[in-house]
A and B are shown apart, each in its own frame.
Chain A
Amino acid sequence: MLSKLAWRNIFRQKRRTVLTLMTMTGGFVLSSLSIGWMNGSYSNIILFFTNSRTGQIQVHHEGYLADPSIYSTIDNFEQVGSILDSIPDVRSWAPRIYTGALLALKPAGHTSNVYSSSAAASVIGIDPAREQEATGFSDQIIEGEMLTSSDADTSLSSTGQILLGKELAITLEASPGDSLILLSQAANGVVADKRYVVVGIVSTGNTQIDRRTSYITLPDAQNLFALEGKAHEIAVLSSTLNEVDNLTAAISGRLSGRNLETDSWKVFAKEFYNGMKADESSLEVMIFIIVLVAAMGVLNTVLMMVLERRREFGVMKAMGTRPGFIVRMIMLEANIMGFISILLGSIISTAGLLLLSKHGIVMDPPLDYGGAVFREMVASISPDCYWIPAICVMLTATIVSCIPALNAAHTKPAKALRTV
C-alpha cells in the first residue's frame, strides 16, 4: 500500500521526477568520479614516489629511522634478503648503505695531488642489479652510465666507480671521467679513503637530494667502511599498493627476533604521507560541496511536490490516515528516487571511470609533487567510488525529505483541503 502509493506518486510528475533523478544521479556520478580520479592520482603519486625511490616497505636495524647511525646495521643482509624472496607479495628488494664523506675533485689530466674543489656528501652504497630491478635506478642517470655491477676489485688501492647527484656535480664542477678522492671514517674507526672515477650524473628530480648525494656499489661501500655483509636499509617493493600494510606485518613477523624493524612508507615517508592525507580532506570538502548542491536541488523538488499535493495530504488525513504514514510515504518516495539514482549513477560512473582509467586527464602544466612530475592522471575504480556516493545519496534523500514530510503530515486537514 505504502510502496504502491509512493511508487505511483513518483511517476506522476514525470518532468520533476526526471529532474530530481538527474540531480541525484549527477551528484552520485560527480562524487564517484572525483573519488576514483583522486584515488587513482594518489596511488599513482605514491607508486611513483615509492617505486622510484624508497620502496613501499623498508627494513632497518631497530631504531635506525629515529637515529641513523653507521653502526645500526642489518647484519647478514643476504640472509634477510632470502627470507624476503620467500614471501610471495615481495616483488623485489634492494640493500643500501648510508654514510657520509668528503669528496675532493682531482680534474682529469692532473696527476699531482691538487684538488680543485671539495664537498661533503652522503654516500649511498647500492647493489646496481637489485637497485635497477627494484627502482629502475638507471632511469635517473642523465649523463654517463650506471655503476657496473661486477665483482671488480673493491680493494682500497683500486679505483672505484661513483655516481654524483646533479647539483653535487655542479658544486664539485665534476663531469663523467673526472677522478675524485673520497675521505671518511670507517665503522672500525680507520680512515677510509679511496680514489673514484665519476661514471655518471644522477637526477632524482629532487634537488635537495641531488645536491648532497653520491652513489657507489654496495661491495665497495662495505669494504671501504668496514661493513662486510652488512647494510643499513633494505627497500622492499610490493606487488600491490593496497596490500602494503598486510605485507609489512607479514615481513615483520618473518623477521622477528633479529632486532630489525619493518615499516611501510606511511611511517618512513611520514611527511609525504601526511601530504596525501591533507589532499584527502580536500577531496572530502569537494564531495561535501557536491552533495550540498545536489541536496538543494532535491530539497527544492521535494518541497514543490509537498506543496502541490497538500490538498491530497489533507484528504488522506481527513480519511483517517495517520501522520506517520504520510511521513513514511514521502520519505519512501525520496528514497526510491535515491535508489534509482544510485543504480543509474553506478552505470554512468563505471563507464566514466573506465574511460578515465584508460585515458587520464593530461595535466598542463604538469603536476610537480616533491620533485616527482606527473603529466597524466588516471582514475582507479574501487568500492569507494560506489559506496561513498551511494551513502551520500541515501542520506541526502532521507534528510532532505524528512522536514517537508513532517510538515505535510502535520498540517491541519481543513487548511490543506482549502488549498486548490
Chain B
Amino acid sequence: MNNEKIIEAKGIIKTYDDSGVPVQAVRGIDYTLTKGEFTAIIGPSGSGKTTFLNVITGLDTPTEGEVWLSGRLLSKMSGNELSDFRRDHIGFIFQAYNLFPVLTVEENVEYIMLLQGVPKEERHNRVMSMLEKVGLADYAQRLPSRLSGGQQQRVAVARAMVSKPSLVIADEPTANLDSKTSGALLDMMRQLNEDTGMTFLFSTHDEIVMRRAKKLVVLTDGKLDGNSPPEEYE
C-alpha cells in the first residue's frame, strides 16, 4: 500500500453556534487518510462523527484548523472548484439514502456522470454494470419510492461508486439496514477496495461494519482516541 495522503486534517475544531449556545462537536483532531484505506470511525452517538466527516470533505467549514484534499488546501478552493473536486474524487453514501425522488434508479446512478459530461453510451454501460454489481439491474427504471430501504441504499452505493471516485465517504451507511443486507453491502465495498484500491471511510456504530473494516478510529467527545486494527479493539 502506498502512502499517498488523500485527506490530511490538522487541528480541526468545529463549534456550532446556530442556537446561541456554542457546542463544540470536534475538539482538535489531527488526522490523515491514505490511499487504499478501508477505515471505520466509531464512537457513541453525539461524539462528532458526522461533523468530522463533513468538515474533512468540505461539506462544512471548520471553526479552526486546516484540511488538505489530495494536497490542496480546502479553504483556498472556490465554490465551483470544491464542487468539481467532490464530483470527480469523492463518492458520498448517506445514512438516509438521499436518492433524488424524481429520478429513476438508472438516472440517480447516472447523475454524477451527467455532471461530468460522460458520453451517453458509456454512461449507460457503467450504470448497468454497477447496478449488476449491487444486484439491482432489473430495477433500473423504478423510482426510489418503489424500492425497499436496503435496495435504496444499494442504489446510493452504486451512485457513489459508479464514477470511480478515489474516495468513498459513508456516514452510517447501514443504520437503516438489516444485518444480512448490511453484511452483503460491506462485503461488496470491501471487494471493490481490494480490487481497485478505492479508499473508504465510514462512520458507524454497527458491529457488522466494524468487523469488516481494516482499521478503526475511535472518536469520543470530539477527540480521536487513536488508531487501532479491529482485532485490538475487539
Contact A412 B61 (CB under 8 A): yes
Pick the residue among B83, B90, B98, B114 that contacts A312 (CB under 8 A): B98
Whether the pair A321, B115 counts as a contact (CB closer than 8 A) is: yes
Q: How far is the CB of B193 from chain A (nearest CB, A)?
A: 21
Cβ of B124 to closest chain A Cβ, rounded Å: 14
Contact partner of A315 (CB less than 8 A), chosen from B84, B94, B102, is B94
User: Could you say which of A4-12, A268-276, A344-352 contacts chain B?
Assistant: A4-12
Q: Is residue B79 contacting chain A, with contact meaning CB distance below 8 A?
A: yes
Contact of B100 among A315, A320, A324, A410 (CB under 8 A): A315
Count A/B pairs, Cβ under 8 Å. Answer: 73
Task: Confirm or deny: B101 has a beta carbon within 8 angstroms of a beta carbon on chain A.
Answer: yes
> Residue A319 contacts which of B55, B107, B111 (CB distance < 8 angstroms)?
B111
CA of A319 to CA of B57 in the docked complex: distance in angstroms? 11
Q: Which residues of B contact A319 (CB under 8 A)?
A: 86-87, 92, 111-112, 115, 159
Q: Are B114 and A1 in touch, CB under 8 angstroms?
A: yes
Q: Which residues of B contact A5 (CB under 8 A)?
A: 100, 102-103
Q: Is B34 an interface residue (CB 8 A)?
A: no
Determine if A320 and B84 form an interchain contact, defined as CB atoms under 8 angstroms apart. yes
Q: Is the beta-carbon distance between A311 and B87 smaller than 8 angstroms?
A: no
State whether the Cβ of B54 lies closer than 8 Å to any Cβ in chain A. Answer: yes
Q: Give the interface size class of chain A.
A: 20 to 34
What size tier do the contact residues of chain B reach?
A: 20 to 34
A414 to B62, CA, bound (A): 11
Query: B225 at interface (Cβ–Cβ under 8 A)?
Result: no
Residue of A12, A315, A322, A324 touching B98 (CB-CB under 8 A) = A315
- A1-30 CB mask vs B (1 if < 8 Å, else 0) is 100110011001000000000000000000
Given known contacts A315-B100, A412-B59, is B79 in contact with A322 (CB within 8 Å)? yes
Per-residue 0/1 for B76-98: is the Cβ within 8 Å of any A Cβ (1 yes, 0 no)? 00011001111110101010001
Which residue of the partner chain, among A1, A314, A320, A415, contacts B85 with CB atoms under 8 Å? A320
A9 and B112 alpha carbons, distance in the complex (Å): 18
A373 to chain B minimum Cβ distance, whole angstroms, is 59
Q: Is A36 an interface residue (CB 8 A)?
A: no
CB closest residue in chain A, given B116: A320
A142, CB-defined interface residue at 8 Å:
no
Q: Are B80's CB and A320's CB within 8 A?
A: no
The reply to whether A323 and B80 contact each other, CB–CB distance below 8 Å, is yes
Q: How far is the CA of A12 from the CA of B55 in the complex (A)?
A: 32
Q: Is the CB of B94 within 8 A of A417?
A: yes
| Cβ A412 vs Cβ B60 within 8 A | yes
Is the C-beta of A317 less than 8 angstroms from some C-beta in chain B?
yes
A selection of 20 A-B contacts at a CB cut-off of 8 Å is A5-B100, A312-B101, A314-B59, A315-B98, A316-B100, A318-B86, A318-B94, A319-B86, A319-B111, A319-B112, A320-B84, A320-B86, A320-B90, A320-B112, A322-B80, A322-B83, A322-B115, A325-B115, A414-B60, A417-B98
Besides A5-B102, A323-B80, 15 more A-B contacts (Cβ < 8 Å) are: A311-B98, A316-B100, A318-B86, A319-B92, A319-B111, A320-B83, A320-B85, A322-B79, A322-B84, A323-B83, A412-B60, A413-B54, A414-B59, A414-B60, A417-B54
| Chain A residues packing against B (C-beta within 8 Å) | 1, 4-5, 8-9, 12, 311-312, 314-325, 410, 412-415, 417
